[in-house]
Chains A and B, each alone.
Chain A
């Protein structure tokens, strides 16, 4: 099949080593707009390292990453976020002592009216911008069922709600693509199911492309359009979910080599 449209995110043979350890070894893949793309693999396979390369926390030693027409390898993370590529973290990183609502307001920093003078004397355009920011925050609180906690400190939320808040915080930045790093970790089965629906909803209703790292196979197989399997920094499969499940290389990576 000839695909004329360039991929939204394309990773071209990136490699990164820490000391002598080659964490990511010439990994290439492409995520098309509107896909839910999952990366799976055993612990230490280099999944999060790839995430960090894409989101600008690490610079790959070699290789190129392009997002929406911008070359982003080695760019600082805040610039990449401005292009519309935002991420969540494996260990939740909220602004813990700020309220839920404030978390969502801070995230809109780049869209906010940051003119000091108009803020200090509360000019109409500043009030309007703030009111819009608040509207958007409220919208996402409502969508994700967090309205009742708006003025609670973020760290007082239950674990699952903190995960949801982290996704809400990404959404208020109006991203094109979300990188979710193990969003189901620590969630109970019911919460995982809700997360499953949420991710699909984000894609279907808001056109968000999702790149997902996840260990919960049920979730991954349910919602992924395509799955990339990594082992020891190398790609061992990049295929549809049904194909990946029966791939002998994947099975041996997960279950160990047959004698």
Chain B
């Protein structure tokens, strides 16, 4: 106790100095006059908190440990349940469950019938798309990419530019955007192939920043800071969703003899996003079970062993970069079509951080976990709009806490259970 008291005193004195300098004074600018207003209460409160925490450190640690043990028990229970599933050898794919989810998601927009609520889900779907794509590089291949949003920007601008200058339709631009982003992934991938871990993270971070600067300054092509406006909305088999169609066309509501209601357009976007998400989930869930997906994981586990078995680690890395960027490109193209206006500020670094936070939270390599984390983060982002720059702090905190408590994510990926074909008689199993 005496030891704690001493520690508490020292910590309090230190924090008094630090707090006085940081939050103890508020600089106010009025016209040309700058004054410093002292805020002693802030310092007092801060010091008190530090003092109390230091004094009752042991007790607090005890409480936290108890909390940690509860968490550990939960994790253990979950692992046992998973093990039981594995022993039964059942595939975790349960069609009834997925069908129910799909039906719920399909009726959702008609039930709420509200632009804001539908819009929130569309945002969630975009985040799911991005996070699933990033998961390929970070979760499966184990290459940290901090500039992922740049590929999203490439996709968005591909559609924006193709539509603005060449009148490309959404459906034609969608695969092109994906491919352009994949190409950008390969172009970035080549020079950074030798890098791993932190170094790779720094280069990708730089790439993200450079791209935003490029978008701001290439005025004649990208429209500079104003971006590109009045991008065409997608059509459904040539039917438009606007009040009045372009010449020669018939808008959706006239075609079906309905009264014009702008929410029809939101329904359309909702289902378009949902379809993209389902497509992405299907393709990625296939990819990771295929030789290419297995080689991504092998690369993460041990690059040297990969090489010794004849796996070309260069092409494995490039394929991970390209395919993950492809999905970012699709998401970007959809985003551009939905917003109808894109500008560099939609592709700032914070977006990369948010997507990475989703991947880390959900559990690297785990699809279900990532979907749930995307919902959580998108909602959090929506509600933390007022917090401005503190949002960055919140997401950083989430990342740190996750790394300490559950480094493998809330829903860690499980190894696939592959049933043996048993063409050879196996003595141990006897089944």
What string of 1s and 0s marks CB contacts (under 8 Å) between A87-111 and chain B?
1010001111111011001111110
Tell me, yes or no, whether B307 is within 8 Å of chain A by CB: yes
Tell me, yes or no, whether B291 is within 8 Å of chain A by CB: yes
In the bound complex, how far is the Cα of B301 from the Cα of A107, in angstroms?
13
Q: How far is the CB of A122 from chain B (nearest CB, A)?
A: 8
Residues of A within 8 A of B305 (CB): 89, 93-95
Known A-B contacts A77-B308, A109-B291; the reply to A98 vs B301 at CB < 8 A is yes
Tell me, yes or no, whether A131 is within 8 Å of chain B by CB: yes
Known A-B contacts A95-B298, A98-B298, A139-B424; the reply to A112 vs B417 at CB < 8 A is no
In the bound complex, how far is the Cα of B308 from the Cα of A53, in angstroms?
12
Are B287 and A94 in contact (CB-based, < 8 A)? no
Known A-B contacts A119-B292, A138-B423, A147-B428; the reply to A99 vs B416 at CB < 8 A is yes
* Chain B interface, number of residues (Cβ within 8 angstroms): 36
Residues of B within 8 A of A23 (CB): none
In the bound complex, how far is the Cα of B307 from the Cα of A142, in angstroms?
26
Tell me, yes or no, whether B309 is within 8 Å of chain A by CB: yes
Are A55 and B308 in contact (CB-based, < 8 A)? yes
Are B291 and A113 in contact (CB-based, < 8 A)? yes
Q: How far is the CB of B290 from chain A (nearest CB, A)?
A: 4
Are B294 and A106 in contact (CB-based, < 8 A)? yes
Residues of A within 8 A of B424 (CB): 138-139, 142
Residues of B within 8 A of A93 (CB): 302, 304-305, 308
Residues of B within 8 A of A102 (CB): 294, 297, 415-416, 418
Are A147 and B420 in contact (CB-based, < 8 A)? yes
Tell me, yes or no, whether B158 is within 8 Å of chain A by CB: no
Are B423 and A105 in contact (CB-based, < 8 A)? no
Instruction: Say which one of A78-86, A194-202, A218-226, A227-235 lies at the interface with B.
Output: A78-86
Residues of B within 8 A of A56 (CB): 307
B307 partner, pick from A77, A116, A139, beta carbons under 8 A: A77
Q: How far is the CB of A229 from chain B (nearest CB, A)?
A: 26
In the bound complex, how far is the Cα of B298 from the Cα of A137, in angstroms?
16
Tell me, yes or no, whether B283 is within 8 Å of chain A by CB: yes
Of A78, A108, A113, A134, which is in contact with the most chain B CB atoms at under 10 Å from its CB? Answer: A78
In the bound complex, how far is the Cα of B312 from the Cα of A77, in angstroms?
9
In the bound complex, how far is the Cα of B418 from the Cα of A147, in angstroms?
12
Residues of B within 8 A of A57 (CB): 304, 307-308
Residues of B within 8 A of A173 (CB): 309-310
In the bound complex, how far is the Cα of B311 from the Cα of A138, in angstroms?
21
Known A-B contacts A114-B292, A138-B421; the reply to A98 vs B310 at CB < 8 A is no
Tell me, yes or no, whether A163 is within 8 Å of chain B by CB: no
Tell me, yes or no, whether A43 is within 8 Å of chain B by CB: no
Are B310 and A82 in contact (CB-based, < 8 A)? yes
Instruction: Say which one of A58-66, A148-156, A183-191, A244-252 lies at the interface with B.
Output: A148-156
Tell me, yes or no, whether B86 is within 8 Å of chain A by CB: yes
Residue of A whose beta carbon sits closest to that of B413: A97
In the bound complex, how far is the Cα of B418 from the Cα of A55, in angstroms?
32
Known A-B contacts A109-B294, A113-B291; the reply to A99 vs B310 at CB < 8 A is no
Residues of A within 8 A of B415 (CB): 97-99, 102, 151, 153
Are A134 and B309 in contact (CB-based, < 8 A)? no
Q: How far is the CB of B294 from chain A (nearest CB, A)?
A: 5
Q: How far is the CB of A18 from chain B (nearest CB, A)?
A: 18
Residue of A whose beta carbon sits closest to that of B89: A151
Q: How far is the CB of A251 from chain B (nearest CB, A)?
A: 34
Residue of B whose beta carbon sits closest to that of A166: B305
Q: How far is the CB of B431 from chain A (nearest CB, A)?
A: 11
Residues of B within 8 A of A112 (CB): 291
Residues of A within 8 A of B428 (CB): 145, 147-148
Are B422 and A120 in contact (CB-based, < 8 A)? no
What string of 1s and 0s marks CB contacts (under 8 Å) between B299-339 and chain A?
00110111111111100000000000000000000000000
Q: How far is the CB of A210 from chain B (nearest CB, A)?
A: 16
Residue of B whose beta carbon sits closest to that of A113: B291
Residue of B whose beta carbon sits closest to that of A140: B424
Are B298 and A101 in contact (CB-based, < 8 A)? no
In the bound complex, how far is the Cα of B140 from the Cα of A98, in angstroms?
11
Q: How far is the CB of B159 from chain A (nearest CB, A)?
A: 24
Q: How far is the CB of A157 from chain B (nearest CB, A)?
A: 14
Q: How far is the CB of A125 from chain B (nearest CB, A)?
A: 13
Are B420 and A87 in contact (CB-based, < 8 A)? no
Residues of A within 8 A of B290 (CB): 114, 116, 119-120
Tell me, yes or no, whether A216 is within 8 Å of chain B by CB: no
Are A138 and B422 in contact (CB-based, < 8 A)? yes
Q: How far is the CB of A60 from chain B (nearest CB, A)?
A: 18
Q: How far is the CB of A225 from chain B (nearest CB, A)?
A: 24
Q: Which 10 A-B pairs have the closest CB atoms?
A: A81-B310, A148-B428, A95-B301, A112-B291, A93-B305, A119-B290, A77-B307, A106-B298, A147-B426, A142-B424
A sample of 4 more A-B contacts (CB under 8 A), given A94-B305, A151-B417, is A89-B308, A102-B415, A116-B287, A135-B423
Question: Could you jot down 28 A-B contacts, CB within 8 Å?
Answer: A57-B308, A78-B313, A81-B307, A93-B302, A93-B305, A94-B302, A95-B297, A95-B298, A95-B302, A97-B301, A98-B298, A99-B416, A105-B418, A106-B306, A107-B309, A109-B291, A109-B295, A110-B310, A112-B291, A119-B290, A122-B286, A134-B420, A135-B423, A138-B420, A138-B424, A147-B429, A148-B426, A148-B428
